[in-house]
Amino acid sequence: MNAFAVAGAWQDIDQEESIMGAENNESRQTALSELRQVLDGRLSTSEAVREQHGHDESWHPGVLPDAVAFAQSTEEISEILRICHRHGMPVIPFGAGTSYEGHLIPTDGGISLDVSGMNEILQVNAEDMDVVVQPGVRRKQLNAWLADTGLFFPVDPGADATLGGMCATRASGTNAVRYRAMSENVLALTVVLADGRIIKTGSRARKSAAGYDLTRLFIGSEGTLGVITEITLRLYGRPEAMASAVCSFETLEGAVNTAIQTIQMGIPIARVELLDEVMMGATIRYSKLDLPERPTLFLEFHGSTQAVAEQAEEVAALAQDNGGGEFRWTTLEEERSALWQARHDCAYACKALRPGCENWATDVCVPPSRLTEIISYIRGVAENSFVPAPILGHVGDGNFHMVFVIDPANREELVEAERINDLLVAKALEMGGTCTGEHGIGLGKMAFLEMEQGEGVEVMRTIKQALDPKNIMNPGKIFNFQAGTVHQHGKPSLAGGSV
């Protein structure tokens, strides 16, 4: 259970439950007893299990599901959804619980459908460089399994998320600049629809023009259109050599321009991560790095031994032109691991800035040429705030995170973080960017989605209403089922009483 829950968020539950009518409640009780028949011992109503499934890694206050169903197969999920559809019982698919925008919170109760037990790697087609997995397989598990094949799956959102969850949120991460995001690395899905029908989208062909691209419709649908129960992923050959590099810059602009010019020159860089001076300060202290407290790029190159050396030298020259300091690069596994461990530990480094506090990690993505401007702008805002807010990001894609390190029990801090987040997203949209590059909408960014996509949200709503007319699939996420209604779950500036 995360600290937000400890901080009293569970008080919300009663408010939510009181909304339910008695009739509704009766129907749900019937659903639960029918589900118990199907799932036998795998339907849990224990307080501990429900609490574990009542939140994600966001600041949003948790809500208990009515029960947690531990599913074992596509067919079983189909049966579960038929029951829930019949009785109007909400269903929230649950993988590793690592999402950041409240995606997994059962704001209207219902069933948390835990697919983490469906974690088999079903088929490795090494010659075709694809793999078929169940949705509960985690990315590290997959790569460990693939170790002997010479292949790997590159998408790396940091957390050891499930592949089902990574599909559901259109995840990406540090490697996306070279290998792209989930939406570009999934060939096919098996999906159970809200009414229990099972469909297969896509195929094992590497491309297709066969009708509407349903695969991509479900990727990023955050569990609101169906449950993903099988995934066919593209794999890549493990590069012969990998080199990592680090370089500090006098200015933020110098760091960002180095990243932009690297992409423009077509250098197939595998990772290019920016840490601003605040983030570097935190990381240097937490991971004991011998680096200056300045804007810094962490980089990685994949290719032949000759190619990675060539790439590293080209980028080193660009860095020098942009006021970079010493450009240290290495192919030694130990040094490479230490660097990326520090990058992956950034979340802990942030928390260590204020012991006992938690991270609210937001993300936006802008056209890369606007990165310097938006980061300078929001850095300026944050410098005049009492909330620490380090910045780090996948600058090759124009995507970055600001991490508000706050005490979730302190309403003033939540409201202040919300204020900065509002300014950040507004600026990103003004620049032609998006309110989220990889975390998704969940509960946290519904209003921003309306600002960004306008009438497009009405089209999303039309699709949702057509495919899930009873609104049982993860209700209340991404947008409101009925236009014009406003969801206020856990909004810091309005729900102060509950936090």
Candidates 90, 102, 136, 220; binder of its own copies (CB under 8 A) is 220
Classified as helix, coil or strand, 471 is: coil
Q: Which amino acid belongs to residue 243?
A: A
| CB-CB neighbours of 184 under 10 Å | 13
Cβ-proximal residues to 337 (8 Å cutoff; 6+ apart), any chain: none
Q: Structure tokens of 84?
A: 């829930």
| Interaction between residue 283 and its own copies (CB under 8 A) | no
| Interaction between residue 401 and its own copies (CB under 8 A) | no
Q: What are phi and psi of 364, to 5 degrees?
A: -135, 165
Q: Which amino acid belongs to residue 59?
A: W
Minimum CB distance to its own copies, residue 169 (Å)? 6
* Interactions with its own copies, residue window 11-30 (CB under 8 A): none
| Interaction between residue 303 and its own copies (CB under 8 A) | yes
Q: Which stretch binds its own copies (CB under 8 A): 30-38, 41-49, 121-129, 411-419?
A: 121-129
Minimum CB distance to its own copies, residue 435 (Å)? 6
* Interactions with its own copies, residue window 357-376 (CB under 8 A): 365-369
- What string marks each residue from 431 to 450 as x (binds its own copies by CB under 8 A) or -? -xxxxxxxxxx---x--xx-
| Interaction between residue 352 and its own copies (CB under 8 A) | no
Minimum CB distance to its own copies, residue 274 (Å)? 15
Q: How far apart are CA 109 and CA 125, in angstroms?
A: 40
What is the distance between the terminal CA atoms of the chain, rounded to a whole angstrom? 15
Candidates 82, 465, 470, 487; binder of its own copies (CB under 8 A) is 465
| Interaction between residue 265 and its own copies (CB under 8 A) | yes
Question: In angstroms, what CA-CA distances link 406 with 345, 350, 492?
Answer: 18, 10, 12
| Interaction between residue 200 and its own copies (CB under 8 A) | yes
Torsional class of 8: left (φ above 0), alpha (ψ -120 to 50), beta (otherwise): left
Helix 305-321 and helix 252-264, axial crossing angle in degrees, nearest 10? 140
Closest CA to 368 of 394, 344, 339, 350: 394
Minimum CB distance to its own copies, residue 377 (Å)? 17
| Interaction between residue 466 and its own copies (CB under 8 A) | yes
Taking a C-beta distance cutoff of 8 angstroms, is the pair 106, 112 a contact? yes
| Interaction between residue 393 and its own copies (CB under 8 A) | no
Q: How far apart are CA 81 and CA 101, in angstroms?
A: 24
Minimum CB distance to its own copies, residue 371 (Å)? 10
Q: Which residues of 222-253 are buried (b: 16+ CB within 10 A; e: fewer)?
A: bbbbbbbbbbbbbbbebbeebbbbbbbbeebb
- What string marks each residue from 164 to 193 as x (binds its own copies by CB under 8 A) or -? -----xxxx---x---xx-xx--------x
User: Closer to its own copies at the Cβ: 45 or 306?
Assistant: 306
Q: Which stretch binds its own copies (CB under 8 A): 54-62, 133-141, 217-225, 379-387?
A: 217-225
Minimum CB distance to its own copies, residue 201 (Å)? 6
| Interaction between residue 127 and its own copies (CB under 8 A) | yes
* Interactions with its own copies, residue window 309-338 (CB under 8 A): 310
| Interaction between residue 304 and its own copies (CB under 8 A) | yes
Candidates 21, 266, 355, 484; binder of its own copies (CB under 8 A) is 266
Q: How far apart are CA 479 and CA 463, in angstroms?
A: 12
* Interactions with its own copies, residue window 80-99 (CB under 8 A): none
Minimum CB distance to its own copies, residue 188 (Å)? 9
Please count the residues of this chain forming the interface with its own copies, following the rule CB under 8 A.
92
Question: In angstroms, what CA-CA distances link 146 with 185, 359, 428, 462?
Answer: 16, 33, 38, 41
| Interaction between residue 241 and its own copies (CB under 8 A) | no
Taking a C-beta distance cutoff of 8 angstroms, is the pair 314, 267 a contact? yes
